[in-house]
A = this chain, B = another copy of it.
Amino acid sequence: MTEKGTHSYFSDSRNENVQIYVNGEIYPRQLATISVFDSGFLLGDGVWEGIRLLNNQMVFLDAHLNRLYRGAEYLAIDIGKSKEELSNLIQETLDANSMKNGVHIRLIVSRGLKKTPYQHPRANIGNSSIVIIPEYKIANEEVNENGIRLVTVTIRRGTPDSQDPRVNSLSKQNCISACIEADRAGADEGIMLDLHGNVSTCNSTNFFIVRNTEVWTSTGQYCLPGVTRQAVIDICLENDIPMIMKDFRIMDVHSADEAFVTGTFANIIPVKQINNKKYILKKSNLSFYLRELYLQKINKLAPIIQ
């Protein structure tokens, strides 16, 4: 098992020889490279998604592709392929690996090759770069049972007029800085505030609290519009669980009954501690019930293959 925290998973030797799609070709992992003139490498100029393969289904694929294309449009990157074509490329990559289940796919689209390392898109030549990395990654469910530890970090979310914090771009410095700060404090993830001091998100997952059977999450103005986050919101609405998207603060977090984070990889993970505040993880928690509903939902979307 490698990595602790929200991305804890069991290492799998098959990943050493996984087949990776890079700009039209499939390469074994060791040979999967990109030009040093690529916009992604030189400038963090691109967008990406993480997608789960479950029972031969790419879960919430449409939501992931919509977010990818919206981000590309915001950055004026022409992906150069339709959503269907891109889906097919992912499937081809999975097929090349004979992968059917328990797979986490990283899909990266950069602005492509540059003729010289200069930030201007006019210095780009040719099409966008597309890279598809599928890996065998089974999340460590112990984390979903035992919970993780968070701390509030001093690194804030960015401003919408400098770099919209809702875009899943390759320029991830903001989140990485928050991640490092949390790690130094011994926590698994950092809670990031927006510029007004409201709780927005964790650095690589979305954040929820439970207060008096109400589920609260941020308004979404400063966090990534997480696909699992949206699924939890939908589940609450479908099940008459009060779901409130609002500005709230660390004080509300400390006096909450429960807290949990969501992500494509780890679905719903309860929080056992935030700063000095400890939360009791017990079976009757709403977060466990939400996770159960979530698993039901995705099992329905991706039923077990007989």
Contact = CB atoms under 8 A, between A and B. Distances in A.
Nearest to A170: B44
A43 B108 CA distance: 10
A75 interface: yes
A219 B246 CA distance: 10
A172 B171 contact: yes
A35 B195 CA distance: 36
A22 interface: yes
Contacts of A203: 119
B176 A119 contact: yes
Contact of A249 (B40, B73, B152, B160): B160
Contact of A36 (B133, B152, B184, B193): B133
Contacts of A159: 156, 158-159, 162, 195, 197
Contact of A204 (B35, B116, B120, B164): B120
Given A36-B131, A157-B162, A159-B195, A119 B179 contact: yes
Contact of A32 (B4, B35, B166, B195): B35
Interface in A112-163: 115-123, 131, 133, 135, 137, 152-163
